[in-house]
Amino acid sequence: MTQQVETGSSPRGEGVVLAALSLLGVAVLAQIFFVMRPAGQASGDAFSNSGLFPGLVAAVLLLCVALRGLALIKEAGAQDPTELEALGPRIACLAVLAGFTLALPWLGYILTAFALTVAMLWLCGVRRLWPILALSTAAPLAIWGVFQHILNVILPFGRLWGALLG
Amino acid sequence: MNELVPLLAGFSGVLDIWVLLAIFAGVLIGLVVGAMPGLGPLIGIVLLTPFAAALQPVTGMTLLIAVYVGGSSGGAVSAILLRIPGTPLAAATMLDGAPMAAKGEVGRALGLAVGASALGGLLGGLFLVALAPLLAEAALNFGPPEYFALCVLGLLSIAAVSFGSGVKGLIVGLVGFLLTSVGIDRFSGAERFTFGMDALLGGINLVPIVVGLFAVSEVLVQLGARAQTNSPITAARVSFAGLIEALGLGRTILRAGTIGTFMGALPGVGGAISSFVAYGVERTASRDTDSFGTGNPRGVIAAESANNACCGGTLVPSMALGIPGDGTSAILIGALILLGYYPGPNLFSDAPDVVGGIFAGYLLANIALLALGALLVPVLVRILRVPQSYLLPVVLLLAATGTYALQGAVFDLWVMMGFGLLGYGLRRGGFPLPPLVIGAILGPLCEENFRRSLLISGGDLGIFVERPISLAALILATGALAIIVMPTRWRARLTPSSAKGPK
């Protein structure tokens, strides 16, 4: 009857993360040695050496990633392969967020928030029209009201409407 | 102790109507997000941080702390009714709360949980008021080497108690450290890792990081998951007798609350572990050990008192040293910085009214919890029946709106998305998220004091082991490092199984 959301880890997921973080560590060191040092920003004493602390952190990060990577190689054989999650809804969710971000300055808050809520409700499996319309209208208006009238934070009206209305 | 007088004067600040409203709203929101499995106080605080940033400092911080207090207690509702702890904090509450519900004692169990939460929280608040100024006074004598050593100890301790592999916790914490290197170097004024982007000159804002990491990644995790929480219990209310019963078990509350406070003050331990420890101690102290796990009221009281008292304990090092004890207090520190105040010993002398207001707000939030918890449980039972499919879009909309509203910057939305994706990847890879936020908070403090120490010593690393406090902290940090590199199966024995989780 009840089921908790599965957030268990997978060796493949961990491997991808470790690979990405090792790239991050290498990129930081490369930036320090090939960009900051020639510019004189990563040398000298503790005051002038801007690369000292991030360089140390990146080196320790790479060491830890290597340690964990070795352990993962040992553990991988003993673990059952975890079922890969469906990535479709997650990618669609990020696409919706990207659309919201791109459209927000042009179409304004109310319209983009309405579209985001509709799209997310659809992604979450809601298919009944009235709940979709009700929540997609009420939630953006309520949040807009709180920000605009209680917190005095101005949310974008939309450049497009500004241009159209002169 | 001279600081205590202006601190107490700051207590009068909470009598402002907006502060009182913030307390009630915060506890209410905390109870709701705490009760809903998958959300919890951390996400509640994350989503409300942009709102809090637009308020007066004491009002904003009180709102967030009230969410923390309400959320720490709200998890008990779903733990008792659904056998699913709304938050990992309530996992120990479930052990006796759910059997009580099964025996038809739902109201009594909820009454015990609400009463114990409020009293435990008040006890934690009293310790906070008493201990934080003392620690802050002592910390005024700390120099850069001591601060650097404490930062290293803080990060390593949190990584050591992270679930699964400690190395993973350390990796994530180091990524947090690296994030704080972006922007203009405060010492030399050089640009670091900005890639020519003006938006990165001031560094990466903490709000899009935490909103992306916790809220957006939570939405991504839950999307498509078959998560539904259908409670077999459709109506419940808090029994007044249960509340009175909790008040009568003062010794249990005192014992568990003290454990919760002191464990909360230790970096990385957190409410989940402290509630299991308090539960275990109560069971050991009881003459009737066999009844624990079958619906013993003392089990519910011990677990709930400890996890709410832990909130107060966590705030002690956070406020006095600026070193967070867990992910939630790291976000609270971030919010305080956003509001223009840097936590640490100087805050107690520079802005005692703000510190006093925050402390008083914490105490009042626990009193409000007693009233609201008792009144709102029937509403929470109804809210538990709202399908997650209606909740996720609202969480995402709040996350995006709050992130944008903070600076009116579209760039922050891209950062939020990036960290949402990173958070999702980290969770799928079994990495804990809180060390990243703690790293992002400790990073500037750690770098600044590391470089200052080297400047003082002329580049000699021996400065870190010449001073007793710094040496002691580094010895403890070495112990934490030993736990981190310890094989996973050995570490698993040190951590209560139910206390493990990504949050």
Residues B365-411 have pLDDT tens digits of 999 998 888 888 778 777 777 887 888 899 899 889 988 988 888 99
Report the distance separating Cα A158 and Cα A103, nearest Å.
9
Q: Give the residue from B279, B288, B312, B268 showing the smallest Cα distance to B113.
A: B279
Q: Give the residue from B177, B81, B52 showing the smallest Cα distance to A57.
A: B177
State whether B454 and A100 contact (CB < 8 Å): no
Q: Residue B136: what pLDDT?
A: 86
Q: Is a pLDDT exceeding 70 seen at residue B448? A: yes
Q: Is a pLDDT exceeding 50 seen at residue B499? A: no
Q: Is a pLDDT exceeding 50 seen at residue A5? A: no
Instruction: Return the percentage of chain B with pLDDT > 90, whole number.
Output: 26
Write out the H or E segment, with its range, that includes residue B184.
strand B183-184
Q: Is a pLDDT exceeding 60 seen at residue B443? A: yes
Q: Is a pLDDT exceeding 90 seen at residue A46? A: no
Q: Residue B20: what pLDDT?
A: 92
Residue among B389, B429, B452 minimizing CB distance to A124: B389
State whether A14 and B431 contact (CB < 8 Å): yes
State whether B397 and A154 contact (CB < 8 Å): no
Report the distance separating Cα B348 and Cα B73, nearest Å.
29
State whether B38 and A5 contact (CB < 8 Å): yes
Question: Cα-Cα-Cα-Cα dihedral of B163, A57, B176, B418, to 10°?
Answer: -110
Mean pLDDT of B95-120: 86
DSSP states of chain A: -EE-------HHHHHHHHHHHHHHHHHHHHHIIIIITTTTSS-SSTTT-TTHHHHHHHHHHHHHHHHHHHHHHHHHTTSPPPPPPP-HHHHHHHHHHHHHHHHHHHH-HHHHHHHHHHHHHHHTT---HHHHHHHHHHHHHHHHHIIIIIS--PPP--HHHHHHT-
Pull the structure tokens for residue B137.
Answer: 């006074």
Report the distance separating Cα B294 and Cα B372, nearest Å.
28
Residues sharing a CB contact under 8 Å with residue B214, sequence separation 6 or more, in sequence order: B42, B43, B46, B423, B433, B503
CA separation (Å) from A7 to B56, B424, B493? 37, 9, 22
Pull the structure tokens for residue B6.
Answer: 């202006």
CB B366 within 8 A of CB B114: no
Q: Please report residues of B whose CB lies closer than 8 A to that of A86.
A: 224
Band (pLDDT 50/70/90 cuts) for residue B488 is: low
Q: Residue A4: what pLDDT?
A: 34
B404 near A CB under 8 A: yes
| Mean pLDDT (chain A, rounded) | 85
Residues A84-115 have pLDDT tens digits of 567 788 999 999 999 999 999 999 999 999 99
ipTM higher than the 0.85 cut: yes
Tokens 């940033």 found at = B53
Q: Residue B7: what pLDDT?
A: 64
CB pairs under 8 A between A and B: 220
Band (pLDDT 50/70/90 cuts) for residue B501 is: very low
Name the residue with higher pLDDT: B151 or B11. B151
Pull the structure tokens for residue A149.
Answer: 């009238």
Q: Give the residue from B69, B423, B124 showing the smallest Cα distance to B257.
A: B124
Q: C-alpha B449: how far from its chain's center? A: 25
Shortest distance, CA A166 to any CA of chain B (angstroms)? 23
| Mean pLDDT (chain B, rounded) | 84
Pull the structure tokens for residue B453.
Answer: 């120490």
Mean pLDDT of A3-27: 78
Q: Please report residues of A whose CB lies closer than 8 A to that of B167.
A: 64, 67-68, 71
Stretch 148-177 of chain B: residues touching chain A, C-beta under 8 Å = 164-165, 167-168, 170-171, 174-175, 177
Report the distance separating Cα B221 and Cα A120, nearest Å.
14
State whether B424 and A90 contact (CB < 8 Å): yes
Band (pLDDT 50/70/90 cuts) for residue B485 is: confident
At B236, phi and psi to the nearest 5?
-160, 150
CB B289 within 8 A of CB B98: no
Q: Residue B5: what pLDDT?
A: 61
pTM of structure: 0.84
Q: Residue A107: what pLDDT?
A: 93
State whether B430 and A13 contact (CB < 8 Å): yes
Name the residue with higher pLDDT: B12 or B103. B103
Q: Residue A119: what pLDDT?
A: 96
CB B377 within 8 A of CB B97: no
B87 near A CB under 8 A: no
CB B321 within 8 A of CB B345: yes
State whether A50 and B397 contact (CB < 8 Å): no
Burial B15-42 (b: 16+ CB within 10 A, else e): eeeebbebbbbbbbbbbbbbbbbbbbbb
Q: Residue B282: what pLDDT?
A: 86
Pull the structure tokens for residue B129.
Answer: 């008021």
- Helical H runs in B339-409? 345-350, 352-383, 388-407
State whether B192 and A46 contact (CB < 8 Å): no
Mean pLDDT of B116-120: 90
Q: Please report residues of B whose CB lies closer than 8 A to that of A131.
A: 390
CA separation (Å) from B38 to B7, B208, B334, B501? 37, 20, 23, 11
